[in-house]
Structure 1
Amino acid sequence: MPTYDYECGACGHEMELFQGINDPVKKKCPECGKLKLKRLFGSGAAIVFKGSGFYQTDYRSEGYKKAAKADKKSTESKSESKSGDSKSKPSGKSKSGD
């Protein structure tokens, strides 16, 4: 649940209130009792990164990268050998119309 900042328009009292998003906005000031309490717009919550660094867990390990690179090379060499066999070799004749 978020924390909201409130300020009274009559007496200037400021307070923070921990309430749910769907809870109704408070209107009565706890100090003066008038219905001049307004919810303020806050800057929002800050992002806190804990641990040794978030980037270290977002990327693959070096071992994984090396294995993926080797796998990619082996699949490329297999596809090149298959495509090289299926190509027809040109005959030595020219089509110049002699």
Structure 2
Amino acid sequence: MPIYAYRCDACGFARDVLQKISDAPLTVCESCQQPSFRKQLTAAGFQLKGTGWYVTDFRGGSAPSTGTASAPAAESKPAESAPAPAATPATGT
């Protein structure tokens, strides 16, 4: 059930109310009993859940790249080891 924010235009009393979507909106203020209790427009709060969604996704303002990004080296092909330098014989006198 959604939580709606209400505020009275007459006295300024504010309250958050847990209501069904099908419930009629409240109109009478609990504090001053005036018929000026109105729903406020508030930002919706939600959280994405499930695999693939993280709190840090899309944070920071940079746009995701469009398929041109290179895959990590471990996924694209096996890493090749660098050849070891040739051993030089020690010259002793």
For residues 32 and 48 of structure 2, the distance between their equivalents in structure 1, rounded to whole angstroms, comes to 37
- Find the counterpart in structure 2 of residue 28 from structure 1: 28
Decide which structure has greater helix share. 1
Deviation at 1:14, TM superposition (A): 0.5
TM-score (norm 1): 0.49
- Find the counterpart in structure 1 of residue 37 from structure 2: 37
For residues 48 and 14 of structure 1, the distance between their equivalents in structure 2, rounded to whole angstroms, comes to 29
Unaligned runs of 5+ in 2: 54-93
Greater CA radius of gyration, 1 or 2? Answer: 1
- Find the counterpart in structure 1 of residue 9 from structure 2: 9
Deviation at 1:49, TM superposition (A): 3.9
- Find the counterpart in structure 1 of residue 52 from structure 2: 55
Aligned residue identity for 1:47: Q
TM-score (norm 2): 0.52
For the aligned residues, what is the CA RMSD?
Answer: 1.8
For residues 55 and 46 of structure 1, the distance between their equivalents in structure 2, rounded to whole angstroms, comes to 16
For residues 16 and 48 of structure 2, the distance between their equivalents in structure 1, rounded to whole angstroms, comes to 21
For residues 23 and 55 of structure 1, the distance between their equivalents in structure 2, rounded to whole angstroms, comes to 35
Equivalenced residue count is 53
> Deviations for 1:16-67, whole angstroms, at most 9, x for unmatched residues?
00000010010000000000000011101221547xxx229xxxxxxxxxxx
Deviation at 1:2, TM superposition (A): 0.5
- Find the counterpart in structure 2 of residue 87 from structure 1: none
For residues 20 and 32 of structure 1, the distance between their equivalents in structure 2, rounded to whole angstroms, comes to 25
1:66-81 correspondence to structure 2 within 5 Å: none
